[in-house]
Amino acid sequence: MLTLCLAACLAQSQAPPEKLDESSRDDFISALRWKQYPVAASLMKPEFREDFLATFNALKDIHIVDVRLIDLKATQEGRRFETTLEMDYYLLPSVTVKTFLFKQTWIYFEGEDQALQGFLIVTPFPDFP
């Protein structure tokens, strides 16, 4: 399993930016759906990761029903994009499904620091309702 993850990361790091944007978005959305918060946090700039993890780790009774891409605007020759995502969830003991709409800005980074390579979310995660 670890070998497959490393191979996927290596292949992703060698792909051109226009291919990585979709992959990064899909990885973030999937990580939220499956409550893999460390994976989702790894797609954010390092200074936002701790707050993101604290928010979702505190929500032990959250059940995420779906996360959808609502809007996408690419700029700066495919190295920056703005997204609007919608997350359907319920928080026990309630079984009422609520929708949380939030925006993100992604920027493509190149460099030697592994934590700052590829597309990363450069906006803090908004306050969860």
Q: Return the structure tokens found at 108.
A: 């493509």
How much is the pTM?
0.80
Q: What's the pLDDT at 116?
A: 75
Query: In this prediction, what percent of the chain has a pLDDT beyond 70?
Result: 80
Domains contained in the chain, CATH given: 18-121 (3.10.450.50)
Q: What share of the chain is helix, strand, coil (3-state, %, to 5)?
A: 40, 35, 25
- Segment 66-93 shows an average pLDDT of 92
For residue 83, what are its two tokens? 């997204």
The angle at the Cα of 82, spanning 17 to 37, to the nearest 5 degrees, equals 80
pLDDT given at position 79: 87
Is the pLDDT at 10 greater than 50, yes or no? no
pLDDT for the residue numbered 29: 96
With a CB cutoff of 8 Å and minimum separation 6, the contacts of 128 are: 55, 56, 59, 100
